[in-house]
């Protein structure tokens, strides 16, 4: 594996855990653009432009670009996905009401930028949430393409990241273990 930076996009509905996921993985303080939410979205702050994080895995620099979740910022998708080699679509395991929105994001991005993707189901640390198997059924995806995680945990986030890197590069990744 060379030293060429590898760009990934992290997308998904509001509150899926995109900013949290990037914060758990990044070696630098995440460049985040969270502001006070002007709509009732069930939390105080929301991403309005992008998140940017950087890490190295097995010596390869990985750039992570997170999208905003709110619909009025959808125009950012095309900007952020430019040059990306893979996509992580996050959904919250406790919020199936947002899965149609997640499906729309996934179809929009992959139709214009046909890159490998995984669906990450966050909040697996909480009780009574949708499992990756449930979500694979919902999106009609092979089980290997859906991964459960706790986005607040660097170890768990790294395992999800390894899944997309293996799809993108076709190689095995050791990660930081």
Ligand X SMILES: Nc1nc2c(ncn2[C@@H]2O[C@H](COP(=O)(O)OP(=O)(O)OP(=O)(O)O)[C@@H](O)[C@H]2O)c(=O)[nH]1
Which one among 8, 9, 15, 158 touches ligand X, defined by CB under 6 A? Answer: 15
What does DSSP say about strands 31-36 and 45-57: parallel, antiparallel, or unpaired?
Answer: antiparallel
For residues 50 and 54, what is the distance between their CA atoms, to the nearest angstrom?
A: 13
Paired strand residues for 91: 121
Q: How many chain residues interact with ligand X (CB under 6 A)?
A: 20
Stretches 9-17, 53-61, 106-114, 167-175: which one binds ligand X (CB under 6 A)?
9-17
Note whether 69 binds ligand X by CB under 6 A. Answer: yes
Show the 3-state SS of 61-83. EEEEEECCCCHHHCCHHHHHHCC
The site map against ligand X for 125-144 (x = CB under 6 A) is: xx------------------
- Return the structure tokens found at 68: 């905003």
Which one among 117, 150, 158, 162 touches ligand X, defined by CB under 6 A? Answer: 150
Residues in contact with Mg ion by the rule CB under 5 A: 18-19, 47
Stretches 75-83, 95-103, 121-129, 131-139: which one binds ligand X (CB under 6 A)?
121-129
Which one among 8, 14, 30, 115 touches ligand X, defined by CB under 6 A? Answer: 14
Place of tokens 């899926």: 16
Burial class (CB in 10 A: 0-12, 13-18, 19+), 29: exposed
């Amino acid at each position: 594996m060379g030293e060429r930076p590898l760009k990934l996009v992290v997308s998904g509905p509001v509150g899926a855990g995109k900013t949290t996921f990037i914060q758990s993985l990044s070696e630098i303080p995440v460049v985040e653009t969270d502001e006070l939410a002007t709509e009732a979205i069930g939390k105080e702050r929301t991403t309005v432009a992008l998140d940017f994080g950087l890490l190295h895995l097995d010596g390869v620099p990985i750039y992570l670009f997170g999208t905003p979740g709110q619909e009025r910022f959808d125009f950012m998708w095309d900007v952020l996905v430019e040059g990306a080699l893979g996509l992580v679509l996050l959904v919250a395991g406790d919020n199936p009401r947002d899965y149609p929105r997640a499906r729309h994001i996934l179809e929009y991005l992959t139709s214009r930028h046909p890159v490998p993707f995984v669906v990450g189901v966050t909040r697996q640390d909480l009780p009574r949430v949708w499992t990756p198997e449930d979500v694979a059924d919902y999106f009609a995806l092979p089980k290997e393409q859906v991964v459960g995680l706790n986005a607040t945990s660097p170890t768990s986030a790294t395992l999800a990241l390894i899944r997309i890197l293996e799809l993108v590069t076709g190689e095995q990744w050791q990660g930081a273990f």
